[in-house]
A and B are shown apart, each in its own frame.
Chain A
Amino acid sequence: MKAAAFDYVKPKALSDALSLLKQGGDDARLIAGGQTLLATLNMRLSEPSVLIDITDVEELKGISVIGDQLRIGALVTHTEIEDSDLVAKHAPLLKAAAPHIAHRAIRNLGTWGGSLAYGDPAAEWPACSLALQATMVIHGPAGERKVSAKDFFIDLYTTALESDEILVATEIPLAPSNQVFYFHELARRHGDYAVAGLAAVAQKDGNILNNCAFTFFSVSSTPVMAIAAQDLINGKTLNSELIAKAVNAVRDEIDAIADITNSAEAKKHLIGVLLERGLRHLVA
């Protein structure tokens, strides 16, 4: 199908993009990589009257280390994350996750900020940003504000972003030297959205994990943290008995939602499978 007609503008400055967004109201959409938006336009699931192309806005670009934070600009593509030495060093979970995002031709255009702002609970970046305790840097008419990933993902495709705001970048604490990580997703075809997935980080000391963050995606209306399982694992020697307890805990704790082909029960089962594999990998 073909998209309905719309106008197209390409501001150069963040301030211009913000005023165009305010002017356009509900009929305006930001476009960056457009790898979800274009598909919805082609299917006429969305019919905005104007697209505001923000890909020329310099403030939204680049990966850098500022103090003890890794700053990833909203316009950074999935490929740039996949290929970045800074990311590999300071947020290796993201490097492990990147190849699971769709396919290279899509990763070449799709952006970090676009994925976060869209808030798809089946997507990889929302879950990773939650696991890594990222902070979202947001600009709006009132200036800058920061929101933690924990408070950013509110519901299905719903984030803390207001309609007149733009996600500018994300700040991620640099990985400590004893950080271990695990990323895995179960999908029907490599690159498709996961049936269930896990993004996990922890600090490892021998067979003991601390500061565990286990984030599941594609199982609920937002990415979800396995708080009870994390509390069970933190600070204790990891053995088969503890892993079995954590698997039971996570299945009790997470209220999985069925999708078109997979029941809630199947997802609940897979959550446990992923956690067990993840824990065995983290202490291996």
Chain B
Amino acid sequence: MSLKKKISMTVNGNLVNAEVEPRRHLVDFLREDLHLKGPHLGCEQGACGACTVKVDGQIIRGCLYLAVQADGCVVETVEGLTKSGVLADLQESFMRHNAMQCGFCSSGMLLAAAELIEKQPKANREEVREWISGNYCRCTGYHSIVDAIVDVLDARAKGQKIKPVSAHA
């Protein structure tokens, strides 16, 4: 049975028109149809957070959201947010603290951390831990991830920017 639906959305600033089966969730659509490999697919049941992307300005679980539901929405992935520079200081801080090992969870961690910094700019260490408890790091690198996020919160509170150690291409 062919049940494809026409959808149209803005992904990382580009208008995308497509036809998808309703059962296709957003991360499969982004990865397989649009070849955006930044959002990762982990547990596919909402537990791990590797698939975190933004829809209409809010982080969501890409595996618990259908591509057809995103019809008419603005979708942003780590690729688009990296280009725009909004994640730059977080990414720099993650590198400084070596807040990644295999890197599988990193895109989801960065998006979750960015929303924390936006919504709770005064978050303390405990609140950072609570917030990112929804993102699994199976290398168990949580401590350095919390350090990296706390550093960005501190820097922003002082009106400072974490400057890159070296220039990136």
On A, residues with C-beta under 8 Å from B are 1-8, 31, 34-35, 38-39, 41-43, 51, 53, 55, 79, 99, 102-106, 108-109, 189-191
Contacts and interface: CB of A to CB of B under 8 A. Distances in A.
A6 B61 contact: no
B44 A189 contact: no
Interface in B6-28: 21-23, 25, 28
Contacts of B66: 8, 34, 38, 51
A79 B23 contact: no
B86 interface: no
A38 B60 contact: no
Nearest to A8: B22
A38 B23 CA distance: 9
Interface of B: 1, 3, 5, 21-23, 25, 28, 44-46, 49, 52, 58-61, 63-66, 68-69, 112, 115-116, 119, 129-131, 133-135
Contacts of A104: 59, 112, 115-116, 119, 131, 134
A253 to B, nearest CB: 32
Contact of A190 (B60, B69, B130): B130
Main secondary structure of the interface of A (DSSP, over half): loop
Nearest to B116: A104
A5 B21 CA distance: 8
Contacts of B133: 103, 189-191
Contacts of A102: 46, 134
A39 B64 contact: yes
A105 B22 contact: no
B61 A2 contact: no
Q: Which 8 A-B pairs have the closest CB atoms?
A: A103-B134, A8-B22, A38-B64, A3-B23, A39-B45, A108-B58, A190-B133, A105-B59
Nearest to A100: B130
A53 B67 CA distance: 13
A1 B115 contact: no
A34 B115 contact: no
A53 B63 CA distance: 17
Contact of B130 (A4, A39, A99, A105): A99
Nearest to A189: B133
A43 B22 contact: no
Given A5-B23, A35-B61, 16 more contacts: A3-B25, A31-B69, A34-B64, A34-B65, A35-B46, A35-B64, A38-B65, A42-B25, A42-B44, A42-B63, A43-B45, A51-B22, A104-B115, A104-B131, A105-B52, A105-B59
A105 B5 contact: no
14 contacts: A2-B23, A6-B23, A8-B3, A41-B23, A103-B49, A103-B133, A104-B59, A104-B131, A105-B60, A106-B64, A108-B60, A109-B61, A189-B133, A190-B129
A45 to B, nearest CB: 10
Contacts of A41: 23
Nearest to B120: A104
